[in-house]
Amino acid sequence: MARLGVNIDHVATVREARKAKQPDPIAAAVLAELGGADGIVVHLREDRRHIHDRDLKILRETIQTKLDLEMAATDEMVRIALEVKPEMVTFVPERRQELTTEGGLNVVSNRDELQKAIDLLHDGGIEVSLFIDPDPAQIKEAHKVSADLIEIHTGPYANSRGKDRRTELNQILEAARLAAKLGMGVNAGHGLDYQNVAAVARIPEIEELNIGHSIIARAVLVGMERAVREMKERIR
Ligand code: PXP
């Protein structure tokens, strides 16, 4: 069964709506773990629009599972990761005005910059994942820059319907097989919810699913622990 990494960014989004102390993403992380989360994921953005440096530091001290830090491949973020030492860093592209991450990394055209950042994190004992589209050229390049894992972008699958959805799913399946064949770990995420998660969870090469918005949206109504438990049931 695929593991579940719970992204708690949007707990911080609600807090930042009032620049208040509540709800605290640290409390959400503890409850997510009680509900069965296998890892906690946060995206520290350059503009700090939701997760703050303080959150990252306290999460590092608090969580019992593993910490996956999503971030852009900038000098500032690499320095923070080397200080905080999450188990894993996932590099994502970042644009200031975007509502959420819009596409996978272009590993082919950012090869040198990514290679430098990956080497620094590896020297610090941190595993590195690259968030990419299910594109064979990107997957092969991820392998060349010695990424430990890839995270396949499932957004286009989540946003499509009918025949298009089957095509998208098939691309995810092929991408997962290629990455596994090259010896990389395979995660997947973005746009996954209680209805569309099962088909992706069934792909045997996929080891972990990273899910945020749909779990936090449900948690607002039924509570964090239950929302995580119900997602784990869907994955199972
Ligand atoms: N994986 C990555 C790399 C992401 O950037 C995000 C969004 O922060 C997610 C997974 C989770 O996506 P969602 O919030 O749509 O579940």
Asked if residue 225 has pLDDT above 70, the reply is yes
pLDDT tens-place string over residues 156-187? 999 999 999 999 999 999 999 999 999 999 99
- Indicate if the pLDDT at residue 97 is higher than 90: no
What integer pLDDT is reported at residue 103 of this predicted model? 85
Distance 192 CA to ligand 1 centre (A): 8
Which pLDDT belongs to residue 91? 97
Q: Which residues, at least 6 apart from 143, have a Cβ–Cβ distance to it below 8 Å?
A: 179, 182, 183, 184
The mean per-residue pLDDT over the stretch 135-141 comes to 97
User: For ligand 1, what atom is nearest to the CA of residue 10?
Assistant: 14
Please, which pLDDT band fits residue 95 given cuts at 50, 70 and 90?
Answer: confident
Read off the pLDDT band of 41 (50, 70, 90). Answer: very high
pLDDT for 54: 98
Helix (H) or strand (E) holding 10: helix 9-17
Q: Is there a contact between 114 and 154 (Cβ–Cβ < 8 Å)?
A: no
Instruction: Determine if ligand 1 sits within 6 Å of the CB of residue 190.
Output: yes
Mean pLDDT, range 144-163, rounded to an integer: 97
pLDDT at 4 over 80: yes
Cα 191 versus chain centre, distance: 11
Q: Which amino acid is at 19?
A: K
Q: In angstroms, what is the span from residue 208 Cα to ligand 1's centroid?
A: 13
Does 98 have pLDDT greater than 80? no
Residue 78 structure tokens: 């690499």
Mutate to test the pocket of ligand 1, among 9, 10, 186, 210 (most ligand atoms within 8 A of CB): 210
Residue 167 CB neighbour total at 10 angstroms = 12
Domains of the chain, residue spans: 3-235
Q: Is the CB of 85 under 6 A from ligand 1?
A: no
Q: Does the CB atom of residue 101 touch ligand 1 within 6 A?
A: yes
Burial class (CB in 10 A: 0-12, 13-18, 19+), 106: middle
Determine the atom of ligand 1 nearest the C-alpha atom of 131.
3
* Binding-site residue ranges: 7, 9-10, 18, 45, 50, 100, 191, 212-213
Q: What is the pLDDT of residue 100?
A: 67
Q: Which amino acid is at 93?
A: P
Q: Is the CB of 157 under 6 A from ligand 1?
A: no
191 lines ligand 1 (CB under 6 A): yes
d(CA 157, CA 169): 6
User: Per CATH, is 3-235 categorized as 3.20.20.70?
Assistant: yes
For 47, phi then psi, to 5°, come to -90, 0
